[in-house]
């Protein structure tokens, strides 16, 4: 589910590979978390998180998630938060190479990285959770707000709008654009630029600059997770997700 | 003083109607607060706050306020804060349709709404309190800062500058521009877009996104109000307001 | 080391004058701090902090600092923080007239002023501390973040990038550009505009708007200073600074 490509000894690319749209299943979430741990053990010094051409990640795999019982669903949310915490608190920089569409969970992964480059063109990004009946959890809201400010994050989160790459660059949701086939390469260059710097100074400054982001995961998130999990089972959410799953299933056939 | 126009059962427009410039008197402040309460009781699901063509609101009615004694002046500030608190904490979204000029108190009303569309052209907006001798109160500063950031809010508040609609859009003080006659319609569309979403998810996300804004009104504001009211009676403030009132009176005749 | 130019009784310009690049020595730091105190005593109502044509300040004088022992180095950091605190907490507005290059410490001085105008053209600004092996101290990071937000400040601080004046304007690191010979004049105009306002209202609003900046200096900064001073003596930092000093020395000869 994760292709590992080492670019020399220092930079490793983790490429999401779960066709057709790199939707986040419990297995993909665990695999990615595991790959992050392995990178640290292997002495990798920077990471690129990429997806497939035209598709970074379609977010949580709703049709699959609708088959899970309450226990497995609760597990999945815990694992998703653990993954986000691992990205946010990564001891080494992570560049998101957003190779294409990145709705909802696809955007969420990128929020906690250090830097984001996105495929230019008709690709969409954003937190459309509300559109599919999901209340945006506080920790995700906080990371969104950190990147684009209180005003834009409120308006985009409440309306659940997806935006195109060019607008994402304009408002600061991504930091650079590149032709789709050059997105991962651009992220690699960004990593190499950081690795050419005095490392203690760079890593210490990085730690200081990200204190507010890492702090999100250094409180007890159980109360938030309980609310997030409970809201998954609300009639409105279940109904909206079922309608979405049926539409996805029709599109496929 | 407030024209109520229902656009279907879900969206209500509250149109300020106190000629010539919709200046905020104690009566208008109370009427608007009352209209907000009534909307909630009537089951309205979103509000548009609009003004007259070319004039959203001229802010506090300085010539009238200069006739008030200390007791009535203290009442007025309490009522103004109560109105702002009702806008900030509104259980339903409010779009500000800034149909024209909106200096000082006119801008303040809009700061606490969910979204702002302004008439394009030579209309001005901003917090020019300092220009008329009034120190900008902390709660208003906090809401201003939330929209446009620490740097811009400091510089605009300290200099008391008014800016044109186009610059207001550029810095994020408003979210959209429209020809004057289409401003209210654009705000209505924004409301309808939100109402087409799953409502629990939308309202829950809205609550989360606005927690910092609503928190402003969930502390004891009495000490701030005491300082605000005291500063109204400072010689510098009284003198500057008297000069302003005389100029307004000459302009009229 | 500081040229004092009074523009009438109200506005004083403090022009850094330590050729060739206005690098910050312990003596220059103390002189500037002293000049700020003197201005307050002399009843000056606003300040312009300017540099030489083409060169605002080259930041800390690294070749000189490398000759200091531990005690004098600790003194220098204490004096630098005391100067920054005096700028941040100045009772009167200070406009930075960034007349040219302003790397590292040059930028730092400007961060704590009220407003920044920079020479347009190929002049560079930014916090390149990481490039020269210095971890960016928390108080400097906080002021940087206040001006340009969490995302941009993280990325620029971690990469230690310098940017040109035009980009600095675009991201909000400076507030205006002017031809090099007009930079100080533009700063003077900005001061005069503020002084034409009702002064109690202006100064009270300024105090409120800068509370988060002044608060940085109203905690015990000793623990931070101890860490900053200790990190100066790290092998990586010393090595990187020595290489820099040798390059500067070669450039000179």
pLDDT of chain A, 253 residues: tens digit per residue: 999 999 999 999 999 999 999 999 999 999 999 999 999 999 999 999 999 999 999 999 999 999 999 999 999 999 999 999 999 999 999 999 999 999 999 999 999 999 999 999 999 999 999 999 999 999 999 999 999 999 999 999 999 999 999 999 999 999 999 999 999 999 999 999 999 999 999 999 999 999 999 999 999 999 999 999 999 999 999 999 999 999 988 887 7
In a domain, B163, yes or no: yes
Reported as a pLDDT band with limits 50, 70 and 90, residue B251 is confident
C54-84: string of b/e by CB count within 10 Å (b at 16+)? ebbbbbbbbeebeeeeeeebbbbbbbbbebb
* Mean pLDDT computed over every residue of chain B: 97
**Statement: residue C253 has pLDDT above 90:** no
Q: Which of B200, B210, B211 to mutate to test the interface with A (most CBs of A within 10 A)?
A: B200
pTM exceeding the 0.95 threshold for the entire prediction: yes
Q: Give, in order, the Cα–Cα distances in Å from A246 to each of A73, A232, A239.
A: 20, 18, 11
pLDDT tens digits for range B9-18: 999 999 999 9
Q: Which of C102, C98, C106, C134 is nearest to C28 (CA)?
A: C106
Q: Hey, are the CB atoms on C175 and B155 less than 8 Å from each other? A: yes
C38-65 tens-digit pLDDT:
999 999 999 999 999 999 999 999 999 9
Report yes or no: A76 and A65 within 8 Å, Cβ to Cβ: yes
Distance (Å, rounded) from C-alpha C97 to C-alpha B206?
42
Of C146, C200, C209, nearest to B158 by CB-CB distance is: C209
Look at residue C165 and give its three-state secondary structure.
Answer: helix
A238: its two tokens: 């279940």
Give yes or no for C141 touching A (CB within 8 A): yes
CA distance A98 to A49: 8
C176 and chain A: CB distance < 8 Å anywhere?
A: no
* pLDDT score of A251: 82
User: What is the C-alpha separation between B26 and B79, in angstroms, rounded?
Assistant: 8
Which three-class secondary structure string do you get for A18-37? CCCCCCECHHHHHHHHHHHH
pLDDT at residue C98 in the model: 98
Q: Please tell me if residue C123 touches chain B, with a CB cutoff of 8 Å.
A: no
List residues bridging with B234 in a β-sheet. none
Q: What is the pLDDT of residue A252?
A: 75
B157:C209 CB<8 A: yes
Q: Which two tokens stand for residue B9?
A: 């059962």
The whole-number pLDDT of residue A249 equals 87
On average, the pLDDT of chain C sits at 97
Cα of B143 to nearest chain A Cα, Å = 10
In a domain, B194, yes or no: no
B94-98, strands of its sheet edge to edge: B2-7, B11-16, B46-50, B94-98, B115-119, B176-178
ipTM: 0.96
Look at chain B and count its residues: 253
**Is residue A216 within a helix (H) or strand (E), and if so which, with residue range?**
none
Partner-chain residue, chosen from B148, B209, B212, that has the shortest CB–CB distance to A158: B209
CB contact under 8 A, C206 and B133: no
In a domain, B165, yes or no: yes
- Judged by CB atoms closer than 8 Å, whether chains meet at B158 and C193 is answered as no
8 Å CB contact between A101 and A128: no
Q: B201 at the A interface (CB within 8 A)?
A: yes
Domain containing C77: what range? 2-252
Q: Cα angle vertex C142, ends C139, C145, to 5°?
A: 150
For residue B63, pLDDT beyond 90: yes
A172–C152 C-beta distance less than 8 A: yes
The alpha carbon of residue A136 is apart from the nearest alpha carbon of chain B, in Å, by 5
A204 inside 8 A of chain C by CB: yes
C208 Cα distance to chain centroid? 22
The CATH code of the domain that includes A168 is 3.90.226.10
Angle at C233 between CA C232 and CA C238, to 5 degrees: 85
Helices and strands, number each (H, E), in chain A:
11, 10
Quote the CA–CA distance of B183 and C173 in Å, as a whole number.
34
> Does residue B252 have a pLDDT over 90?
no
Q: Which residues of C touch A147 (CB under 8 A)?
A: 150-151
- B89 belongs to a structural domain: yes
CA distance C100 to C119: 6
Please report the number of interchain residue pairs, chain A to chain B, with beta-carbon separation below 8 angstroms.
75
d(CA A132, CA C120): 48
Number of domains in chain A: 1
Q: Is residue B131 part of a domain?
A: yes
Q: Single out the residue of B3, B111, B8, B16 nearest to residue B61, CA to CA.
A: B16
Whether a cis peptide bond, with omega within 30° of 0, leads into C20 is yes
The average pLDDT across B106-127 equals 98
H/E stretch holding C124 = strand C124-126
What's the pLDDT band for B66 if we cut at 50, 70, 90?
very high
Is the Cβ pair B159, C93 closer than 8 Å? no
Q: Which chains touch C (3 or more CB pairs under 8 A)?
A: A, B
Q: How many CB atoms lie within 10 A of CB A167?
A: 15
Give the closest of A149, A160, A237 to B197, CB-based: A160
The CA distance from B187 to B191, in Å, is: 6
Is A4 an 8 Å CB contact of chain B? no
The half-sphere exposure of B28 on its side-chain side, counting CA atoms within 13 A, is: 25
Mean pLDDT over residues B110-131, rounded? 98
Question: Which chain C positions have a beta carbon within 8 Å of A199's beta carbon?
Answer: 236
Distance from C-alpha of A241 to C-alpha of A133, rounded to nearest angstrom: 7
| Residue numbers in B near A234 (CB within 8 A) | 200
- d(C-alpha B61, C-alpha B158), whole Å: 22
Q: Provide the 3-class DSSP secondary structure of residue C3.
A: strand
């Amino acid at each position: 589910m994760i292709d590992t490509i080492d670019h020399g000894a220092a930079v490793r690319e983790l490429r999401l590979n779960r066709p057709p749209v790199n939707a986040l299943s419990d297995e993909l979430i665990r695999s990615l978390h595991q790959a992050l741990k392995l990178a640290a053990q292997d002495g990798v010094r920077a990471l690129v998180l990429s997806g497939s051409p035209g598709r970074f990640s379609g977010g949580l795999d709703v049709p699959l998630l609708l088959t899970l019982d309450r226990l497995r669903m609760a597990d999945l949310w815990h694992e998703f938060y653990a993954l986000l915490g691992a990205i946010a608190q990564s001891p080494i920089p992570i560049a998101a190479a957003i190779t294409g569409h990145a709705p909802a969970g696809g955007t969420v992964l990128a929020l906690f990285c250090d830097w984001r480059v996105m495929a230019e063109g008709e690709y969409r990004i954003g937190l459309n959770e509300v559109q599919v009946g999901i209340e945006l959890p506080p920790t995700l809201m906080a990371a969104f707000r950190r990147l684009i400010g209180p005003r834009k994050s409120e308006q985009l989160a409440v309306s659940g709008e997806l935006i195109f790459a060019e607008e994402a660059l304009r408002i600061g949701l991504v930091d650079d654009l590149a032709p789709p086939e050059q997105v991962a390469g651009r992220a690699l260059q960004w990593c190499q630029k950081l690795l050419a710097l005095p490392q203690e100074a760079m890593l210490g400054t990085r730690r200081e600059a990200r204190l507010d982001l890492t702090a999100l995961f250094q409180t007890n998130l159980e109360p938030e997770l309980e609310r997030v999990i409970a809201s998954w089972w609300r009639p409105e959410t279940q109904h909206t997700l079922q309608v979405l799953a049926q539409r996805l299933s029709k599109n496929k056939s």
